[in-house]
Structure formats: C-alpha cells, structure tokens
Structure 1
Amino acid sequence: MSKKVTIQDIADALGLSRNTVSKAINNSGILAESTRRMVLSKAKEMGYKQFAYFDPSVLTKEEPAAAPVVHPAKANIALFTAKLLDNAHFASSMLRTANEIFEQMGFHLVIYNLSAADIAARRLPPSFSLDTTAALVCVEIFNYDYAKMLCELDLPVVFADAPVNNIMQSLNAALLEMDNRSGIYQFIGHAVSCGKKTFGYVGDAMHCQSFYERYSALKGACNYHGVSRSCIHNVTGNLPASDTIHTYRDYLTDSFRAMKEIPEVLVCANDFAAFDAIDALRSLGYKVPDDVWICGFDDSQRSRYFTPRLTTIRINGAAMGRTLVDLIIRLMERRDYSCKTFYVESSLILRESSGEIP
C-alpha cells in the first residue's frame, strides 16, 4: 500500500515551510500566486488527495501573463537603498529571487545607493529617470520624509520594511514585511516553559517598522505568558549620530553595565545586534547561554557558525522575493494595493545560544 502523502511531504519536496503549503492548499492567508500554483502543481504530482481546497482548473488553464507587456522605454524596476545590501543582509535572497523573475519578464532591476546627504536633502539620484522606470522598490529607506517624497512620484512603490508607520500617516505604497511576531511569541513561550523569568529587548525600536514590531512582540508575548512588567528590561536606544568613535557594542556594554540586573533572556532586533550583545556580555563576565539566553532575527549565515551558534528567527527571503514581484505587477495593473501591508512567514530556529544541544 502506497504511503499517504502529507502536507509535510510536499513542503519537504519544495523546500518550503509546512505553513506555506497549508496556506496554498487551503487557499488561506496571503501568498504569492506563483507560490500557490507551484504548491498545487507539486501536490497533484505527488498524488495528494486530501484537499480542503483545490480547483483542478488552476493547473489546466494556460498560465496567465505574468506581467503587463514591458514598454521598451519603461523597462527598469528601480531599487532605492540607503545601505550596502551584501549577502549578510536579509534582503539579499529576496532580491536574487525577484531579479530572476523580473528578468524573465523583460524588466531590469537597477540599484541606486543613496547617501545620507541625498536623503537629508530629499534628492533623487542624478542617474534616475522617471521616463525609464516602471516601478520603485525601497529597501533600508527609513526616513519618513524621504519615503513620503518617493510615494509622490506617481510610480507603483513597494517598501520591503519601512519607516515606523504607527506614529505617521500611512505611506501611499504597499509594504512588504516578514512575520515579526510569531517566532518571538514561540521563543518566549519556550523560555517560560524552561523556567526563565526575566526578559529584555536589544535594538533601536524606532529604527524601522520591523524592529518596532519585534519590540512590541516581546512585550505582547511577555504579557501573554504572565511575565511581570518589572521583569522586562530593555535596551532600545542607540548611539547618537554624532558619535563616530564608539561602536554599538560599546553602547551595549555601557547599557548592560548600568543595569541592576541582566535579564535571563534577551531578544535582539536582528542577528547583528545579537552578536554585539553576546560580545558585550562576555566583556562583563557573563556567559551565553549559561547566564543569558540570546535570540536574534534573520538567520544570517554567520549565525550558524558563531560561537555559540545563534538561536534566531529565519526570514523566508525567496518567498519575500516572489511576493515582491506579485505586488509590483499588481500595482502596475491597479493601485489598490497601496497603504496595505503584506507579511511573509518566518520560523524560529533554536540553537546553542538558548541552551539547545549542538
């Protein structure tokens, strides 16, 4: 008798999370259409019979045009960024995936690196032209005034992470975010079940929307699990921009030294903040994970080789890339995706920095 095919089998075959496959099969949640079709096709190929939702015509119809006809004069997708997007950056895999799809459609992804002076003066790059640009993607653009100016260019705009929008008027753009909450709730629940009682957040909570949501998630998770507010100790600031001598690690070392009590568990805004936090704690005589548990966010390459290997929350960069393309194309066709936020799943990875056996 042949083995019954499960959702996990399909997820393993495609290298996707079980949650993503479940969304596709049950037609629930926000998912890139290309991903949904890929999952359904693989499910049919593997003989999956237990569909809660399945329209066989999806796989027999001709593939719809992936994008509007590319006008030769407007073949560029402009990428504005205020930071070097190397392989360590969360957006690198997202952009690789998006670029491959854009090229198949006949578009060219053109990168414009913005200086601090450009952003302060609200100045567009000199080589940028509206006449050759079909849409705009923004990564690491966290200055609200500059972001707002870009949204007034009469182009489809997608921000992959964005300025903190809880205190500002919504931007006239689609916002693409990773799930910044679920993994933190899971991690705090795990820590509480292991007897941890004091918690803290490390990172500039107002740096960008994702950092703000992660900070809010820590507070929400602690409240959900009954952790007293007096047991939450945060380091949510940063060095002043005028300080060009000290490093973020120096800032954390001073902040930890000033604390009456170092929390048993620290959730960090990203992996880089986690690396600095571990180094700062070591300089003060604390051991990770013996004295303090640390969790990062991103699952950067370094997190897998750092000592101790870093517990973190993995961002699905490829899924973000596919969703980014879908949003751009839909915005080209109609602007009804503006002022909406779309989330792509992320997943908790437990490693040595939270006491997991290597």
Structure 2
Amino acid sequence: MSHRVTLQQIAKELGLSRNTVSRALNNSQNVSAETRALIYEKAQEMGYKQFIEPTIDNSSQSNFEIALFTQSFPGSSHSGSKLLEAFQHKINQMGYKFSINIIRDQEIRQLSFPANFNKSHVAGILCLEMFSVDYCQFLCRSEIPMLFVDTPAISKAILPDSDKLYMENFVSTHRLISSLIQSGCRHISFVGDRYHCQSFYERWQAYQLALTDAGIPIDLSLCILADDTSPYSDPNWLCEQIANLPVLPDAFFCANDFLSLSCYKALRFLGKKVPDDTMLCGFDDAPEASLLDPGLTTVHIHNQSMGILAAELLLSRIKNPAIPYRTSYVDSEIIYRGSTKKVLR
C-alpha cells in the first residue's frame, strides 16, 4: 500500500504552516498566488491524493472556476505576479474560484490537460507564460473560453478562437531606441531571443524600425540573438557573447529586465562601467531595476491594469461566447534612470 501524503508533510517540505497549506489547497483568497503555486507544485510532486484527484463539486454551478495555465509560474519579480493578484481579486468578486495549473513538459509533448484538471468544472482559462505553439493551438481547440496574456510569436503561429492581451511593446521601444540615437548612439545591440514570444518580437520590430528611421543600418553582428535554450542567466556565457562582438556597443537594449540584469553582471565582469563605457536599458520595470547602481532605464508595464482588463475580457467571453475575438493592448511607460544618464528624453 502506498504511503498517504499528509498536509503536515507538505508543510514541512516547504517550511510553511499546515494551515497555510490547507488554505491554499482549498483555494482560500488569503494565500498569495505565488505561495499557492509553490504548494500546488509540491503537492503534485509528492502525490497528494486529494490534490491529484479532487472531489467533485455537487453544487448547481460546478463550472464556477477559472484556471490559470502556465509553464513557469511568475515569481515576485516577474511582471505577471501583480497581474495575477489583480486578476484573482476581480474574478473572486464575481464569485469564481481560481485554480493554478503548472503545465509540464510531458503534457506539452502529449498535448494533454494536467491530471488534476476537470474540464467540466472550468468556466474559462487564463494562459500566462505559455509559448509552446502546438500546446496553445491544442488549448484553442478545447472550446473553453480562453485568454492569452502574451502568445508565441505570431510569425510562428496564429491562435484562433481566443482573446489576447499584451502590454504595449512597439511604440515604447521605438521611442526608447530613438532617444538613444538622438543622444549620439549609433551602435545599439539587441539582446534576447526575438522569437521567444510575441512581445519580444514586437520589441525587435520596433528596434529595427527606430534604426531604419534614423538611417542606421541594422547590424546583426552587434546583437545577441541566440534562442532561449541558451544560458542567458550564465554571466560567463554572456561575457563570451559580449566579448565576441566586433565593437562594444554604445548601448544595449535587452528584451526584458531579466536579460538586462544578466548583461549588467557580464559587463562588470568584463570591467565595463554603465553608463560610462556603454548604456543599458530593458523592459518590464522589475523591482530589481531601480536597485541597480546606477538604476536601470526600462519600460514600466501597468500590471494591475492588465490584470483587471484580463479578468474583464475573460468574464465577458464566458458570458457572451459569440462576440468577435479581441486583441487588446495596455499602454506602457518609459522610465529613465542612471543607466542611460546621457540620453535626451
């Protein structure tokens, strides 16, 4: 007979109280989305039966649940963290429960729902950090009301029968690159996999257009464009990529702040100072961006507004399935800090 996993064992593994674990597995609003995701992952890993095989809700409305599908649950530094908090608060006000589903490689390969997912209980799905083209298309065929917050690059796939929500990427990136150019930058490097997701691709398109508008040739040899299987978080790898560039760029534009922080570390290892030797900017306005010395110039995403709009879009789709599908954007805002101190704003 297999050993029965208890709440106390899960709590001990995570260093949390038994009450916190119990509240999370019962979808209490008093547990943060990030903590709940950690508990869900551990419960699934340990084979907690009540989690893997949930009891059936016999209430008259059993599909009063909205499910999050994500390949990588956003930590506190990720732009999606505040988005999810606002989203959950909004749907809870409307009487919906919120469940978290971490989609694993096996489910991606098999094009299957996670073991703990009961389609008949779910009114809609919110997809965040879901960039597998095949799996996203599988979800679109499920006939469940679906909202994607960011998507795989549209150049790779079209996702029918779904609503999409993005932060504004193109105008803000174009303005930021243009301000670098107006301040005298001619060699500007783009760092990141431009095909990682649609948002990265839109930032790449804006980067190219800003250079073209200024009459500056696009020089791919100045860019670090390896696909996202490459170890961008490894300073040694990134040091090697920067050292192999034909010249040290006047500025680096990184596709998000995670990449900017990695680039900052690599530049320091190479003995380069920001912004004296080269300027640096990113996208997202992660909490760490303002803590760098100097602070990181970046683009602020209005995550709370995105979370509220995400809830409104999905709830309206649930209520009116026949309305035309929508693609929505929420404006972003450039935040200039010391990493580009010479920039003309």
TM-score (norm 2): 0.78
- 1:202 aligned residue (144, 169, 191): 191
- Is the 8 Å Cα contact of residues 196 and 227 (structure 2) preserved in structure 1? no
Residue 19 of structure 2 aligns with which residue? none
- 1:81 matched to 2:70? The reply is yes
Residue pairs, 1:158-307, within 5 angstroms: 158-230=147-219, 233-238=222-227, 240=229, 247-307=233-293
Which residue identity lines up with residue 324 of structure 1 in the other structure?
Answer: A
User: How many Å separate the matches in 1 of 2:306 and 2:199?
Assistant: 14
Residue 149 of structure 1 aligns with which residue? 138
Tell me the percent identity: 29
- Is the 8 Å Cα contact of residues 98 and 325 (structure 1) preserved in structure 2? yes
Which residue identity lines up with residue 258 of structure 2 in the other structure?
Answer: F
Change (3 A) 1:248 1:71: farther
User: How many Å separate the matches in 2 of 1:336 and 1:307?
Assistant: 51
Which residue identity lines up with residue 257 of structure 1 in the other structure?
Answer: A
Which residue identity lines up with residue 186 of structure 1 in the other structure?
Answer: R
Secondary structure of 2:126's partner?
strand
Secondary structure of 1:229's partner?
coil
Residue 125 of structure 2 aligns with which residue? 136
TM superposition shift of 1:84: 2.5
Change (3 A) 1:80 1:230: closer
TM superposition shift of 1:356: 6.1
Which residue identity lines up with residue 326 of structure 2 in the other structure?
Answer: K
Residue 329 of structure 1 aligns with which residue? 315
Q: Give the CA RMSD over aligned residues.
A: 2.1
- 1:351 aligned residue (314, 321, 337): 337
Any gaps of 5 or more consecutive residues in structure 2?
1-58
- Is the 8 Å Cα contact of residues 233 and 262 (structure 2) preserved in structure 1? no
Change (3 A) 1:336 1:220: farther
- Is the 8 Å Cα contact of residues 183 and 342 (structure 2) preserved in structure 1? no
TM superposition shift of 1:86: 1.5
TM superposition shift of 1:180: 0.6
- Is the 8 Å Cα contact of residues 267 and 295 (structure 1) preserved in structure 2? yes
TM superposition shift of 1:353: 0.8
1:41-98 deviations in whole A, cap 9, x for unaligned? xxxxxxxxxxxxxxxxxxxxxxxxxxxxx96211100000111222111111111111
User: How many Å separate the matches in 1 of 2:104 and 2:126?
Assistant: 17
TM superposition shift of 1:266: 1.2
Which residue identity lines up with residue 263 of structure 1 in the other structure?
Answer: P
User: How many Å separate the matches in 1 of 2:213 and 2:123?
Assistant: 45
User: How many Å separate the matches in 2 of 1:202 and 1:216?
Assistant: 13
Worse overlay, 124-133 or 111-120: 111-120
Change (3 A) 1:349 1:71: farther
Residue 317 of structure 1 aligns with which residue? 303
Residue 6 of structure 1 aligns with which residue? none
Change (3 A) 1:75 1:311: same
Alignment length, in residue pairs? 285
Residue pairs, 1:50-89, within 5 angstroms: 72-89=61-78
Change (3 A) 1:284 1:75: same
Residue 99 of structure 2 aligns with which residue? 110
User: How many Å separate the matches in 2 of 1:341 and 1:322?
Assistant: 15
Secondary structure of 1:134's partner?
strand
Residue 92 of structure 1 aligns with which residue? 81
TM superposition shift of 1:118: 2.2
TM superposition shift of 1:230: 4.0
TM superposition shift of 1:323: 1.1
User: How many Å separate the matches in 2 of 1:338 and 1:118?
Assistant: 30
TM superposition shift of 1:247: 4.3
Change (3 A) 1:337 1:316: farther
1:220-265 deviations in whole A, cap 9, x for unaligned? 1111222222487211114647x7xx94433321211111112111
Any gaps of 5 or more consecutive residues in structure 1?
1-69
TM superposition shift of 1:208: 0.8
Which residue identity lines up with residue 321 of structure 1 in the other structure?
Answer: G
User: How many Å separate the matches in 1 of 2:73 and 2:219?
Assistant: 39
- Is the 8 Å Cα contact of residues 173 and 338 (structure 1) preserved in structure 2? no
User: How many Å separate the matches in 1 of 2:180 and 2:239?
Assistant: 24
Change (3 A) 1:239 1:125: closer
- Is the 8 Å Cα contact of residues 221 and 246 (structure 2) preserved in structure 1? no
Change (3 A) 1:126 1:71: same
Q: Which runs of 4+ in 1 moved over 3 A?
A: 238-241, 335-340
Change (3 A) 1:216 1:248: farther
